[in-house]
Structure 1
Amino acid sequence: MRIALVGCGAVTQAVYVPLLSRRRELFEVTAVCDLSATLADAVGDRLGAPGRYTELERMLADGGFDAVLMLASGSHGEAVRQALAAGYAVLCEKPLALTRAEVEALPEGRLMVGYMKQYDPAVRRAEQLLAELGGAEAIRSVEVTVLHPSGESQLAFANLTRAQDVVPGLLAELRKAEDALVSAALGEAADPATRALYNVALGSICHDLSLLRRFTGSPSVIDHVETWGPGPGSIEISGPLPATGRFSIRWHYLEDYPAYRETVAIHHERGTLELVFPAPYLMNAPTTLTVVSGAETRTEFRDVTEAFEVQLAAFHAYVTEGRAPLTGEAGGLEDIVTAQRIAARYAVQHGLPIGGEAA
C-alpha cells in the first residue's frame, strides 16, 4: 500500500520511520510533507520517498499514494478533511480535532484514529479477561496514574533531526489558529488554566480516555476536576462509570522524573487487572499485565509485540480488506466530548467562564 506521511517531527522519526522501514512488505512511502523542508528531506531520505513537500494541498493534488498518515502535532481536523475529500484513506494520530465542529465537517471516507495503546497485546488480553468476568458490569473501579517526564528526556536517545527552516511567522499563525479552535470549544472568555487543562486532556490524557472507552464506555458525567503544581502540573479527574463503579485519573507532569510510567488498574469483585505501560517511544518495550486472582495469585502477561506496529498493520487491513478499526470518527468525537466535559467541570467548580461547545 502506497502511503504519504504528514508531519516529520519527533513521533515520526522515533516511531514511524523505523516501523515503516521494517514493514516494507505492507507499505511503500511515496511522499512526505512537513512545514520544514529539512525534516521532509531527512525523513524522505530514510524511507526512500521520492515526493517531498512543505504544502499539504500540493501533495494531495500530486497524489501517487493510496492513504495518508496524519502525524503532525495539534488539531488534525482540517488536514483530515482535505485528505478525505481528495479520496484518500487516513490514519490520524490523536487527537482527531479540537472541536466537534471540525469532526462534523468531515466528509465520508475511510478514517482510523490512532490510539496505539488500544492495540497493545496486554490491553487486548485485559479486554478478553474482562469479558470473561462479565464486562463493564463487573468493574468496581478503574484507577489511572500517569507520571510524565519531559518530552526531551523521553526522546534523548532518538537523535532527532531538528527543524530550523520553517517560514518566519508561520508557527505563530498556526498557534493563533489553534487558539481560535480552543476558543470555539471552550468560549472566547475561557481562562488560561481551563485552556491548558483542555490541551492536556486531548494531547495526553486522551490515551486513558480511549482505554476507558474500550473497557467501560466513555464517562457521561465528570464530577470532580482539580489541578495543582507549576504548569502543566498535576491533574485529577473522577466520576461515575457508565455501567457501575467509578474511575479516577491522576496525571502528573514531572520534568525530571526518571522515566515515563502509566498504570491502569481495573478492580473487580474477584481481583484486579493492572496494566503498566512503558515509555511510548521505546520500540518493543512490553506492557505488563498483572492479573490478581484467588488466594492472591499473581500472573504476569508480557508481549514484546510493538503496539504501534500492530496499529499500522490494522490500518493496512482496514484499507485493503475493510476490517473496522478500533477507533474511527465516532470514537475520536467521543474523546473530544469527554475532554470538553472535563474542562467544563473544572470551570464550574472554580467559578470560571465556560462557553463554546463545552457549555
Structure 2
Amino acid sequence: MKVALAGLGVAAQVMYLPLLARRRDLFEVTDVCDLDPARAEATGRLTGARPHADPLEMLGRGGFDALVVLTAGSHGALVAAALEAGFAVLCEKPLAYSRAEAEALRAGPLRAGERLMVGYMKQYDPAVRRAAALLAGRAVRHLGVTVLHPTDEAQLAFARVRPSRPAPGALAPWLRADAAALDAALGPDAPAAVRSLYAGVVLGSLCHDLALLRTFGGPPVTVDHAAAWDGPSLEVSGALRRGRYGLRWHYLPGHPAYRETVSVHHEDGTLELVFPSPYLMNAPTVLTSSSPDGAAEVRAVHRDVSEAFELQLEAFHALVTEGTPPLTGLDGALADIVAAQQIIRAVAGPSVGGEARDA
C-alpha cells in the first residue's frame, strides 16, 4: 500500500517513519510533506520518497493510496481535502478542534467516514485489548485515570528529533484556520488560557483517556465536575453508562518519567494498566488483573512488547485493503470533541461560547 505523510515532526521521526520502514511488507512511503522544505527534502533523501512543502499540492499530484496526517493543530481541513481527493486517511489525534469540522466530513463525498481512521494508538495496545476482553461486558463501577506528564524535551532526549522551521508565510494560513476552528468551538472571546487548555491538554493528551473511556465503559454521559489549576493540572469526573469515572492530568516539568495509570473497578475485580512513555517503542504496558478464587484473590500480570503504533498501522492497512472498521472513526472522534467541550465548559463556565456553550 502506497502512503504519503503530511507533517514530519516528532510523531513522524520517532514513531511512524521507523515503523513504516519496519513494515515494508505492508507499506511503501512514496511522498513526504512538511511546511519546511528543508525538512521534507532531508526526509525524502532518507526514505526515497518524493518531498513536498505544500500538502494540498501533494494531494493534487497523487500517486499514493492513503495519507497519514501528522501535522500540528486541527486536522479537519487537511483530512477533508484528502478524503475529497479519494484517499484513505489515518489522522493523528485530534481529528479537529470543532464539531463543525468533523460534521463536515460526514457530509462529504465517498462515504468519508468509512475511509477515515483516527490515531489513538493506546486502543491498539495489547494490554488494552486484553483488558477489554477480560472485562467482557462486566459492569464498570468506576474507571480512574492519572497522568503524570513531564516535559516533552525530557521524554525525547534520546530521540535526536530534527525540528521543522517553516517560513512564517507558509505557516500563516494554517494558524488562521486553527484560530477560526477554536473560535467556532469556544467562541472568539474565550481566554487564551482556556484555548490552550482545550487544544493542548484536553484534545492534545487527555483525549487518549477519553478514547479509553469509550473502550471500557462508553463515552462520558455527564461531566459533573471539572477544575484546572496551576501547572496546568486538570481533574474531571462524571457518569458513565454504568458507573462513574475520574480523570486527573498533571503537567509536572520535573517529574522523572511519564506515567499513566488506568484502574477499572468492575463487579468481579480490578484491572490496572500502567503505560510507559508513548515515545519508547516496544516498551510494554503492564496489565494487572485481580479476581476472586473462592476466598482468595488472584493477581495476574501481563506484559506484551508488541508496539501499539505498529498494531495501529496494521489496522489501517486492513481498513484500506479489506474495509475493516477502525476502533475510532468519525463517530468516536466526534464523541471525544463533544466530551472535550463539555469539560472546558465545566472548567471555564460563561467565559466560553461557541459550540462548547451548548455541548
Provide TM-score, normalisation by structure 2: 0.94
Show the 5 A alignment for 1:1-359: 1-49=1-49, 51-106=50-105, 107=108, 108-109=111-112, 110-131=115-136, 134-135=137-138, 138-164=139-165, 166-199=166-199, 200-230=201-231, 233-242=232-241, 244-294=242-292, 295-348=296-349, 352-359=350-357
Following the alignment from structure 2 to structure 1, what is the Cα–Cα distance between the partners of residues 177 and 103?
A: 18
Following the alignment from structure 1 to structure 2, what is the Cα–Cα distance between the partners of residues 52 and 172?
A: 21
Following the alignment from structure 1 to structure 2, what is the Cα–Cα distance between the partners of residues 18 and 257?
A: 28
Q: Given that residues 144 and 264 in structure 2 are in contact (C-alpha distance below 8 angstroms), is that contact kept between their aligned partners in structure 1?
A: yes
Amino acid at match of 1:151: D
Structure 1 range deviating more: 100-109 or 89-98 = 100-109
Structure 1 gaps of 5+ residues are: none
Following the alignment from structure 1 to structure 2, what is the Cα–Cα distance between the partners of residues 168 and 334?
A: 34
Q: Given that residues 2 and 29 in structure 1 are in contact (C-alpha distance below 8 angstroms), is that contact kept between their aligned partners in structure 2?
A: yes
SS at match of 1:262: strand
* CA positional deviation for 1:256: 2.0
Amino acid at match of 1:219: P
Cα distance change on mapping 1:197 and 1:163 into 2, 3 Å? closer
Q: Given that residues 142 and 245 in structure 2 are in contact (C-alpha distance below 8 angstroms), is that contact kept between their aligned partners in structure 1?
A: yes
Identity %: 59
SS at match of 2:334: helix
* CA positional deviation for 1:48: 1.9
* CA positional deviation for 1:340: 0.6
State the Cα deviation string for residues 79-108 of structure 1 (Å, max 9, x = none).
000000000000000000000111121223
Cα distance change on mapping 1:85 and 1:172 into 2, 3 Å? closer
Structure 2 gaps of 5+ residues are: none
SS at match of 1:283: coil
Amino acid at match of 1:354: V
SS at match of 2:212: helix
Q: Given that residues 227 and 346 in structure 2 are in contact (C-alpha distance below 8 angstroms), is that contact kept between their aligned partners in structure 1?
A: no
Q: Given that residues 219 and 338 in structure 1 are in contact (C-alpha distance below 8 angstroms), is that contact kept between their aligned partners in structure 2?
A: yes
Following the alignment from structure 1 to structure 2, what is the Cα–Cα distance between the partners of residues 150 and 264?
A: 21
SS at match of 2:351: coil
Q: Given that residues 17 and 43 in structure 1 are in contact (C-alpha distance below 8 angstroms), is that contact kept between their aligned partners in structure 2?
A: no
State the Cα deviation string for residues 180-202 of structure 1 (Å, max 9, x = none).
21111011121233222211111
> Cα RMSD over matched residues?
1.3
Following the alignment from structure 1 to structure 2, what is the Cα–Cα distance between the partners of residues 222 and 201?
A: 13
Amino acid at match of 1:258: P
SS at match of 2:158: helix
* CA positional deviation for 1:173: 4.8
Following the alignment from structure 1 to structure 2, what is the Cα–Cα distance between the partners of residues 253 and 169?
A: 32
SS at match of 1:31: strand
Following the alignment from structure 1 to structure 2, what is the Cα–Cα distance between the partners of residues 300 and 42?
A: 43
Q: Given that residues 238 and 247 in structure 1 are in contact (C-alpha distance below 8 angstroms), is that contact kept between their aligned partners in structure 2?
A: yes
* CA positional deviation for 1:172: 5.0
Following the alignment from structure 2 to structure 1, what is the Cα–Cα distance between the partners of residues 323 and 221?
A: 30
Structure 1 range deviating more: 194-203 or 338-347 = 194-203
Q: Given that residues 17 and 46 in structure 1 are in contact (C-alpha distance below 8 angstroms), is that contact kept between their aligned partners in structure 2?
A: no
Equivalent residues, number: 347
Following the alignment from structure 1 to structure 2, what is the Cα–Cα distance between the partners of residues 86 and 143?
A: 41
Amino acid at match of 1:75: S
State the Cα deviation string for residues 159-181 of structure 1 (Å, max 9, x = none).
111223x2134445533432221
Q: Given that residues 221 and 240 in structure 1 are in contact (C-alpha distance below 8 angstroms), is that contact kept between their aligned partners in structure 2?
A: yes
Q: Given that residues 8 and 33 in structure 1 are in contact (C-alpha distance below 8 angstroms), is that contact kept between their aligned partners in structure 2?
A: yes
Q: Given that residues 226 and 237 in structure 2 are in contact (C-alpha distance below 8 angstroms), is that contact kept between their aligned partners in structure 1?
A: yes
State the Cα deviation string for residues 7-27 of structure 1 (Å, max 9, x = none).
000110000111011100100
Cα distance change on mapping 1:62 and 1:70 into 2, 3 Å? same
